[in-house]
Amino acid sequence: ESDARTMRKFLMHTFTGVNSDAAERILERAQLGVRAMPARLNADEIARLHAALQNVNLDEGQTMTVLRYANRVPLLFQPGACAITQTVASMNWRAYGLSQSRGNLPTGPVTVLVHMASVWVPYTSESKEAVAAYPEIQRELRLALQAVGRKLALYLGRRLRVKQEGERRGKFLRYLGEVATAVSSINQVDRDELYQRLVEVAKRKTADADVRLDERGNRVEAQAEFGEHVLIVRQQEPNTPDG
């Protein structure tokens, strides 16, 4: 059951991560109009809608997925009426490296999980499907999301830096051979030696391209010369008896 009057709004408000473009692709696949009324769908139209939901690739133009929990219970319905979703959408995620249109969830394969733990959770109705938009709740949510956003921006910035330096190094290496050949013919120096020196300079100037990051964006230290499958255990000093 939904209060949405059109199928597009029904899909956007019922399913997390479905924006306007995704809803239109689903309805086009199901051969339904965007202004079709959910309450008036017949059995054949419902079957086509179900098939479209299974087959349409939502990764294209995917919006942020918001997982909502209240006292460890997942809130699966009415995300548009929930203070959690509203607060996430009102954030300026562009400041943290994500693409976002005003008033909508940001785009990208990003998932945000929000859990509200309280002895009294203010729901919008007795069905307990959405959290009411109290100013105090939204303020605390915004502070928590801003803290997460700063970590996300740091992670995305590090990944972007590695990517940009890798592309920069590729451009250097693409032309270093021609540069070494031209300079060696003018200055009468050894071409191969000059080329190797230029490569070393290019790698040194783009050292960030060799940085490895883990899933949290932290730098992964290089393995020692013993190999990646070798575990070094330090020997502890034996305990000496007192006296």
The full set of domain ranges for the chain reads 7-55, 65-133, 160-210
What pLDDT does 11 receive? Answer: 84
Q: Tokens 């079957």 belong to which residue?
A: 47
What pLDDT is recorded for position 24?
A: 85
Half-sphere exposure of 166 (CA within 13 A, CB side): 10
The alpha carbon of residue 183 and the mean position of all alpha carbons in its chain are separated, in whole angstroms, by: 46
Q: According to the model, what pLDDT value does residue 241 have?
A: 55
pLDDT at 207 over 80: yes
**Which range among 142-146, 213-217, 219-223 has the greatest average pLDDT?**
142-146
Q: Is the pLDDT of residue 140 over 90?
A: yes
Average pLDDT over residues 30-35: 86
Strand 111-116 relative to strand 73-74, pairing: unpaired
State the pLDDT confidence band at 150, using cuts at 50, 70 and 90: very high
Global confidence as pTM: 0.60
Place of tokens 């919006």: 63
DSSP 235: P
Give the C-alpha distances (Å, rounded to integers) separating 103 from 90, 98, 130, 135, 160.
Answer: 6, 14, 19, 18, 26
pLDDT at 160: 87
**Beta strands across the sheet bearing 73-74:** 73-74, 65-70, 111-116
73-104 pLDDT, tens per residue?
999 888 888 999 999 999 999 999 888 888 78
- Reply yes or no on whether the pLDDT at 235 is more than 60: no
Higher per-residue pLDDT: 22 or 204:
204
Residue 6 in contact with residue 34, Cβ under 8 Å?
yes
Closest CA to 116 of 67, 160, 153, 76: 67
Question: What is the rounded CA–CA span in Å between residue 128 and residue 182?
Answer: 74
For the purposes of burial, counting CB atoms within 10 Å of the CB of 49, is it exposed (0-12), middle (13-18) or buried (19 or more)?
Answer: buried
232: pLDDT strictly greater than 80: no
Q: Are 203 and 196 in contact (CB under 8 A)?
A: no
The confidence score (pLDDT) of residue 243 equals 46
> Is residue 162 within 8 Å of residue 211, measured between CB atoms?
yes
Beta carbons of 58 and 17 less than 8 angstroms apart: yes
pLDDT higher than threshold 60 for residue 144: yes
**CATH class of residue range 65-133:** alpha beta
Residue 81 in contact with residue 66, Cβ under 8 Å? no
8 Å CB contact between 33 and 7: yes
* Residue 91 contacts residue 149 (beta carbons within 8 Å): yes
Q: Measured between alpha carbons, how far apart are the two ends of the chain, in Å?
A: 80
